[in-house]
Amino acid sequence: MYTIMIIEGNELFRNTLKDILSNGFPEVRILEAESGEDALKQLDGGDPNLVIMEVKLPGQNGLDIAKTLKDHHPDVHIIVISAMDSPEYREAAENQGVEYFLSKATAKPKDITNTVKMTLNQAGISHP
């Protein structure tokens, strides 16, 4: 079993992501956090294999959280799905160790599922 953490301040979008992941990856354990601070507290107990997060979060900026995650959990893989889609945010995300950046405005469930599959494959994590 592998673990994916969703860090998303918008409860509706967080639930939508959870549904997409549950349907596409039935063996996944999903953790949820509303903010970066909440996510970091939850991660004291272990490492997720993958984090899916927003840039704009309550409290600390999502890109700062991505850097902290990579500093403390170097094996974690990060996908950003954000409404803050600009070349500057994409570059900043890449500089913080984010593997993929998807736009909330254009990403479809299949895009999310395919990106998660690619990331898990790159990480050497087998999934159905």
Instruction: Work out the pLDDT band at 7, boundaries 50, 70, 90.
Output: very high
State the CATH number of the domain containing residue 114.
3.40.50.2300
CA–CA separation, 115 vs 4, rounded Å? 13
The per-residue pLDDT for range 36-73, each reduced to its tens digit, is 889 888 876 667 899 999 999 988 889 999 999 899 88
Rounded CA gap, 41 and 13, in Å?
A: 21
pTM, full prediction: 0.93
pLDDT confidence tier of residue 34, bands split at 50, 70 and 90: very high
Residue 79 lies in a domain: yes
Q: Looking at residues 102-124, what average pLDDT do you find? A: 94
15: Cβ–Cβ under 8 A, 6 or more apart, which residues? none
Tell whether 128 is covered by a domain. Answer: no
d(CA 95, CA 19): 30
Identify the domain containing residue 98 by its residue range: 3-122
pLDDT at 67: 93
Give the percent of the chain with pLDDT over 90.
72
Q: Is 107 within a domain?
A: yes
Query: Domains in the chain: how many in total?
Result: 1
Secondary structure (3-state) at 15: helix
Residue with tokens 């063996």: 27
Please state, in angstroms and rounded to a whole number, the distance separating the CA atoms of residues 115 and 121: 10
Identify whether 103 is part of a domain: yes
Poorest-pLDDT segment among 56-65, 97-106, 107-116 = 56-65
Rounded CA-CA distance 74/67 in Å is: 10
What confidence tier does 128 reach under pLDDT thresholds 50, 70, 90? low
